[in-house]
């Protein structure tokens, strides 16, 4: 009997190794979800191997499930405290969660064990800089900080005669200005800083007068296109307009958060969106995403990009403007559109969303309604579960059904997650995810998608492939951490 048990244990170990190798091949082919399933099979066959958890941690990391990635790294370290890669995986995942002090602690362990690894040393150095910078910023905070926007005088900036780009005449936006600006961006040129500042300040003024939950009514002769994350992929972003038409009073758009970060043309994306918002305030709508926050922008590239292309002052104005963006949109009283998802509470109403005080919140308070709106994800199982990201929650089909019924709604549309075909319909057709950044980060190979909605609330899905872009890698402005996330 003992020999039989030993035989089965050894057979399971062999199968686990074969399964792990199959998972590795899927990972190398960038089929991360499939790789996660295979690593899970290997762990089930032999739950005593630290490397299996560390490998699955890396696959979770690639799908931005940073919460699960940390948990797997914890398991690897618990099984083998001497397994250095477990600490590295946990440090990387905590960077993804913007838990910089936790990441620093693990990077220090890895450096101590591998003193000759220059890559890890550079990541520790960069992490140390972020921790010190955050501590310094907290130390100089005052109780009632004055917004830069309130003291900034754009009229003092002179447009040089040598500037050959589009100009805002009399401080007013025009369709012609935007078209010329977009073409200039396409050719990797900038607009004058004065006009960039004018665009940002104009949109901030609009948003200060905008409620947290925006009501949208689609006129009979119009359509509204809902777009998911575009993440700084400017050339894919303008391709949406090529295949679906540019924004106009009848060709309405709702961009559902995560305009910036990851892609290295985030500045071009956000200035184009802001310019169209200024031109068509009742036809182009913008929802705040979880990447329209300071902590994300410090890690994922937008802050570095704005500073490299313009200035720290401009990033501060963007930051102040992001904290004025609305959190949700209600289409024809029946379709709720949010970036992330639903809540840890059962009793949330539309009025609760309307009453969220979002202004000035450059960071999100974990557990708040605002945080859950921007971070939560759907799950297949009923009920609620811990977030795979480590922030927000996961909510099941019954949670969606109950929320929609309580608020007399038909449908929830959200974004926040890359999908192979650009969109997915879940929760008995009541929850739709749309993601509009094809071949996300130049690595995933997914399609992008948009949803066209008519006045009678009929939905039409369009999918599209990525288009070529200049040879600038994603996260090019994210310093040493770019290599972690691409």
Query: What digits encode the pLDDT tens for the residues 232-284?
Result: 999 999 999 999 999 999 999 999 999 999 999 999 999 999 999 999 999 99
- With beta carbons less than 8 A apart as the criterion, state whether 238 and 269 touch: no
* Separation CA 45–CA 39 (nearest Å): 10
- Percent of the chain scoring above 70 in pLDDT: 95
State the residue for tokens 């060709």.
Answer: 251
Domains of the chain, earliest start first? 2-139 (1.25.40.10), 208-485 (3.60.21.10)
Return the sign of the alpha-carbon dihedral for residues 399, 402, 404, 407: negative
CA angle 288, 293, 298 (to 5 degrees): 145
Q: Record the tokens describing residue 58, joined without a space.
A: 């890396």
Give the burial string for 396-409 (b: 16+ CB within 10 Å, else e): bbebbeebbeebeb
Q: Is 291 a catalytic residue?
A: yes
pLDDT computed for residue 6 by the predictor: 47
CA 280, distance to chain mean position in Å, is: 25
Residue 146 class from Cβ within 10 Å (0-12 exposed, 13-18 middle, 19+ buried)? exposed
Mean pLDDT value across residues 421-432: 98
- In this predicted structure, the answer to whether residue 83 has a pLDDT above a threshold of 70 is yes
In tens, the pLDDT along 428-478 reads 999 999 999 999 999 889 999 999 999 999 999 999 999 999 999 999 998
Least Cα distance to 276 among 154, 169, 174 occurs for 174
**Has residue 486 got a pLDDT over 60?**
no
- What is the rounded CA–CA span in Å between residue 370 and residue 439? 29
For the chain, what is the mean pLDDT? 93
Residue-wise pLDDT for 7-35, tens only, equals 446 788 899 999 999 999 999 998 899 99
Helix (H, G, I), strand (E, B) or coil at 152: coil
CB-based contact 218:455 (threshold 8 Å): yes
| 238: CB partners within 8 A, 6+ apart | 182, 186, 272
What residues are paired with 170 via a beta bridge?
A: none
Spatial separation of the C-alpha atoms in residues 57 and 77, rounded to whole Å:
12
- Spatial distance between the Cα atoms of 282 and 249, rounded to a whole number of angstroms: 8
| Phi (first) and psi of residue 257, to 5 degrees | 90, 165
DSSP label of 340: S
Strands, E, within 298-360: which ranges?
Answer: 328-331, 335-338
Q: How confident is the model at residue 5 (pLDDT cuts 50, 70, 90)?
A: very low
Check residues 485 and 388 and name the one with the higher pLDDT: 388
Go through the chain and tell me how many residues it has.
486
**Angstrom distance (rounded) from CA 64 to CA 417:** 9
| Least confident interval from 72-81, 96-105, 248-257, 325-334 | 96-105
* CA–CA separation, 457 and 335 (whole Å): 8
How many distinct helices (H) and strands (E) make up the chain?
19, 14
**Beta strand 335-338 with 223-227: parallel, antiparallel or unpaired?**
unpaired
> Helices in 118-249 by DSSP H: which ranges?
118-139, 148-151, 175-186, 193-208, 234-244
Token couple for 107: 């990077």
**SS3 label, residue 368:** coil
List of residues 6+ apart from 443 with CB closer than 8 A: 30, 474, 486
Structure tokens at 445: 């190979």
Residue of 192, 231, 291, 416 marked catalytic: 291
Which residues have C-beta within 8 Å of that of residue 327, sequence separation ≥ 6? Answer: 212, 213, 287, 288, 338, 339, 353, 356, 358, 370, 373, 374
CA distance 42 to 449: 34
Q: Is the per-residue pLDDT at 2 higher than 70?
A: no
Q: Which is it for strands 384-386 and 393-395: parallel, antiparallel or unpaired?
A: antiparallel
Taking a C-beta distance cutoff of 8 angstroms, is the pair 264, 232 a contact?
A: yes
In Å, what is the CA distance from 245 to each residue of 36, 239, 241, 253, 415?
39, 9, 5, 10, 21
Q: Which pLDDT score is estimated for 57? A: 97
Structure tokens at 15: 């199968």
Taking each helix axis as running N to C, give the angle between helix 302-309 and helix 312-322, from 0 to 180 degrees, rounded to the nearest 10: 140
CA distance 415 to 227: 8
Burial of 208 (0-12, 13-18, 19+ CB in 10 A): exposed
What does the pLDDT look like over 119-166, one tens digit per residue? Answer: 899 889 988 988 888 787 777 665 545 688 888 999 999 999 999 999
Q: Are 296 and 260 in contact (CB under 8 A)?
A: no
Write down the pTM of the prediction: 0.91
């Amino acid at each position: 009997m003992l020999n039989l048990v030993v035989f089965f244990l050894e057979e399971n170990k062999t199968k686990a190794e074969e399964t792990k190798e199959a998972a590795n091949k899927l990972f190398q082919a960038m089929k991360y979800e499939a790789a996660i399933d295979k690593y899970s099979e290997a762990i089930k066959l032999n739950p005593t191997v630290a490397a299996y958890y560390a490998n699955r941690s890396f696959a979770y990391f690639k799908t931005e499930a940073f919460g699960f990635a940390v948990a797997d790294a914890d398991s690897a370290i618990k099984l083998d405290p001497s397994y250095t890669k477990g600490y590295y995986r946990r440090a990387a995942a905590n960077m993804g969660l913007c838990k910089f002090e936790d990441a620093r602690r693990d990077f220090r362990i890895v450096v101590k064990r591998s003193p000759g690894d220059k890559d890890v040393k550079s990541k520790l150095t960069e992490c140390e800089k972020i921790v010190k910078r955050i501590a310094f910023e907290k130390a100089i905070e005052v109780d009632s900080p004055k917004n830069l926007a309130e003291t900034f005088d754009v009229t003092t900036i002179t447009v040089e005669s040598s500037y050959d780009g589009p100009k805002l005449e009399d401080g007013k936006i025009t369709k012609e200005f935007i078209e010329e600006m977009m073409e200039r961006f396409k050719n990797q040129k900038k607009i004058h800083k004065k006009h960039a500042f004018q665009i940002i300040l104009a949109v901030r003024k609009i948003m200060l007068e905008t409620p947290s939950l925006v009501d949208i009514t689609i006129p009979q002769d119009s359509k509204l296109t809902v777009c998911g994350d575009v993440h700084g992929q400017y050339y894919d972003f303008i391709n949406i307009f090529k295949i679906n038409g540019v924004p106009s009073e009848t060709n309405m758009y709702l961009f559902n958060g995560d305009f910036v970060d990851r892609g290295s043309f985030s500045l071009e994306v956000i200035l184009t969106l802001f310019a169209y918002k200024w031109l068509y305030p009742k036809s182009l709508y913008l929802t705040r995403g979880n990447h329209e926050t300071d902590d994300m922008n410090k890690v994922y590239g937008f802050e570095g990009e704005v500073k490299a292309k313009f200035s720290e002052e401009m990033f501060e104005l963007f930051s102040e403007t992001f904290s004025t963006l609305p959190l949700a949109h209600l289409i024809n009283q029946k379709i709720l559109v949010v970036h992330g998802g639903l809540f840890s509470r059962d009793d949330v109403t539309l009025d609760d969303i309307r009453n969220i005080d979002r202004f000035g919140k450059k960071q999100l308070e974990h557990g708040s309604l605002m945080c859950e709106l921007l971070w939560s994800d759907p799950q297949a199982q009923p009920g609620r579960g811990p977030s795979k990201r480590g922030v927000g929650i996961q909510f099941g089909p019954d949670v969606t059904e109950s929320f929609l019924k309580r608020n007399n709604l038909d449908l929830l549309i959200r974004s926040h997650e890359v999908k192979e075909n650009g969109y997915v319909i879940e929760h008995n057709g009541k929850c739709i995810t749309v993601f509009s950044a094809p071949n996300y980060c130049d690595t995933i190979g997914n399609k992008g998608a948009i949803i066209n909605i008519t006045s009678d609330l009929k939905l039409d899905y369009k999918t599209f492939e990525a288009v070529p872009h200049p040879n600038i890698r994603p996260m090019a402005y994210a310093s040493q951490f770019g290599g972690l996330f691409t």
